[in-house]
Structure 1
Amino acid sequence: MSKLIKKVFLDNCPVCDQAHEVKEFEDDAQVIIKGEQITYKERYFYCENADIDESEFIPARMANKNLLAARDNYRKKHHLLTSRDIVDLRKDYDLSQVELARLLGWGEATISRYESKAIQDESHDMMLQLIRKDPLTILDLLERNSSKFTDSEKKAIQNKVEQNLESYGRENLSRQNLTSNYVGYLDPSDQNGQTSLNIDKIEAVISYIASRVNNLHKVKLMKLLWYIDSISVKQTGQAITGLVYRHEEMGALPIGHRNLVALNNVNTREELSNNGYEMIHFYPSDKVKMSVLTKADKKILDTVIKKFKDFNAKSIIDYMHQEIAYKETKPNEIITFNLAKKLREF
């Protein structure tokens, strides 16, 4: 179904040759990429002065953006970095497109093509992913391709890597701490909703909720996470986060919840309640890559947020205590996701 995005004034409408306001719409479209049918959001203009059969038009620049959106959906489907991911990666180190290509030993136009139209192959994507996960890789590549950079360029890159390493060290350590709690739950199973622990999604989910729920505190967040994963399992057969939950007095609580809260990219503040108690308040984080959340993920998140947005901690605990998944497990037992099938309808 078409969705009106905005209205734009054109000095010379290519359909009617007049200066007037046109409407910009967005609609689902499909295209074949590398033999696969990919669904994406296509944008187009609508001229009300033209006959109905000739009223829609797509300028060249918009057509390029549409094609890029389709290619990015292909990338997401195959777990490749999107064009936006590559742009963000390059900006993390203040590198131009040519500089990043030189650093990797690729043709100078390669990064430009990946950011605008071409889909990277798996070997190139692996290199980009490696740089994204470990700043030290940049230094190794810089040494290998040092002849392609001036001394001042090398110094600038080294300084940026040093800045990023401090942040990377904190982030990596916080992730290792949470991952250590999940050594016994690495393989997809009914305990983790057939999903291995996905810290990128955990961070994105928390930030997404925090941007839409005021006064988001730990007790409420932990219940929202359980409902999100349970509904996802019920609808798709797989959880979103890969977290494993135990039956606790206040409802479902993820294993390693203290390390979860301490993740470097989870934005929290300790604040005093009206009663003088210290509470952990969650806020959106600008460090999180929200692109890891799919449209289906966000739909599930929105469903849970709509249901529980105005619940306080006690209300959501009481509500969860009535779930069969909670009633049929004992204290400290893992709440397996086969019980998600018995989740009450919202």
Structure 2
Amino acid sequence: MLVSHEREKLINAIIYFAKNTRFLGKTKLCKLLYFLDFEHFKETGRSVTGMAYYAWKMGPVPVDLYEELDMPEADLAERVEFAEKPTRNGTMLVVTPVAEFDDSHFSKREMRLMRALSEEFRDSRADDIIEATHLENRPWQKIYVEDGKRQQQIPYDLALRRQEAELMRDVIAERQAFVAQFRQP
């Protein structure tokens, strides 16, 4: 199996979140990776893992990974253990690292984002993080609720819309200030 740089980042991001958050199951993992990818895209124009996310009822889901977690590829299975654990609401897939995290695959920005996400959601349960992905003006909300495109891919560029609008307002304000200085007697 050919292992890409993005695949190494994905596996190590899973290890990082497993080591630095509590209650990490399939749902919470998918949401943390979504936030990592979309926040990084908003800042740089590219995702960290390269995964595609789809608008499912419970929020954004990287379908390829979601399906793989039932039967992980060898490179993932060697470094992360996935086990079913009974809960009061049924069973939960628990994610446990069996390998050390390798930060050599990540930029300083990517590490900063992973640290911030793990701190923000360290003690959150799946339901809490699902709520965070359903907030207004978020990409999932736009696709699933506003556009009614259930099960459809969430375009990364939706992460940019608010930022682009803010940037445009700043550019316009700077231009107006520049022009105003020449109008003064």
- Cα pair distance change 1:263/1:289, threshold 3 Å: farther
Partner of 1:215: 23
Residue 235 (structure 1) aligned to one of 43, 66, 78? 43
**Percentage of identical aligned residues:** 26
How far 1:197 moved relative to its partner? 7.8
Letter of the 1:326 counterpart:
W
Q: 1:335 to 1:197 in 2, by over 3 A?
A: farther
Q: Secondary structure at the match of 1:273?
A: strand
- Cα deviation, 1:76-123, whole Å, max 9, x if unaligned, reads xxxxxxxxxxxxxxxxxxxxxxxxxxxxxxxxxxxxxxxxxxxxxxxx
Pairing 1:252–2:60 present: yes
TM-score (norm 1): 0.40
> Is residue 112 of structure 2 the alignment partner of residue 299 of structure 1?
yes
The answer to whether 1:268 aligns with 2:81 is yes
SS of aligned partner of 1:219: helix
Using the TM superposition, give the Cα deviation of residue 302 of structure 1 relative to its aligned residue in structure 2, in angstroms.
1.0
Deviations along 1:248-273, one digit per CA (max 9) or x if unpaired, are 01100003122156133341232323
Rounded Cα–Cα distance in structure 2 between residues aligned with 1:205 and 1:211: 10
Q: Which has the higher contact order (CA 8 A, sep 6+)?
A: 2
The structure-2 alpha-carbon separation of the partners of 1:309 and 1:197, relative to structure 1 and needing over 3 Å to count, comes to: same
CA distance 1:336–1:276, change in 2 (3 Å): closer
Find the aligned partners of 2:5 and 2:154 in 1 and give their Cα distance.
16
How far has the Cα of 1:328 moved from its partner? 1.4
**What is aligned with 1:201?**
9
Change beyond 3 A, Cα 1:228–1:301: same
Aligned partner of 1:319 in structure 2 is: 132
Q: Which amino acid aligns with 2:104?
A: S
CA distance in 1, matches of 2:124, 2:85: 19
Query: Unaligned stretches of 5+ in structure 2?
Result: 144-148, 164-185
Partner AA of 2:140 in structure 1: Y
- 2:93 maps to 280
The 5 Å alignment of 1:45-84 reads none
Higher helix share: 2
3-state SS in 2 of match to 1:211 = helix
* TM-score, structure 2 as length reference: 0.72
Deviations 1:184-214 (A, max 9, x none): xxxxxxxxxxxx9811110010001111012
1:246–1:253 Cα contact (<8 Å) kept? yes
Output one character per residue of 1:151-191: Cα deviation in whole Å (capped at 9) or x when no partner. Answer: xxxxxxxxxxxxxxxxxxxxx39x7xxxxxxxxxxxxxxxx
Q: CA deviation at 1:242?
A: 0.1
Q: Deviations along 1:212-231, whole A, 9 cap, x unmatched? A: 01221010110010000011
The alignment's C-alpha RMSD in Å is 2.5
Q: CA contact under 8 A between 1:270 and 1:278: conserved in structure 2?
A: no
Contact 1:321-1:327 within 8 A present in 2 as well: yes
Q: Could you give the per-residue CA deviations for residues 276-328 of structure 1, whole angstroms, max 9, x where no partner exists?
A: 72221112231664421222211011111122222211111122112421121
User: Equivalents in 2 of 1:199, 1:215: separation in Å?
Assistant: 23
Equivalent residue number for residue 310 of structure 1: 123
Aligned residues: 152
Change (3 A) 1:343 1:270: farther
Query: CA, structure 1 residues 252+199, in 2 after alignment: closer, same or farther (shift >3 Å)?
Result: same
Contact conserved, 2:23 with 2:125, CA < 8 A, in 1?
Answer: no
Residue pair 2:15, 2:100 contacting (<8 A) in 1 also = no
Q: Which has the larger radius of gyration?
A: 1
1:343 CA drift (Å): 6.8
Counterpart for residue 160 of structure 2: 341
Q: Tell me, in whole angstroms, the C-alpha distance in 2 between the residues paired with 1:296 and 1:216.
A: 23
More strand by share: 1
Q: CA deviation at 1:236?
A: 1.3
Which residue matches 1:328? 142
Amino acid corresponding to residue 216 of structure 1 in structure 2 = L
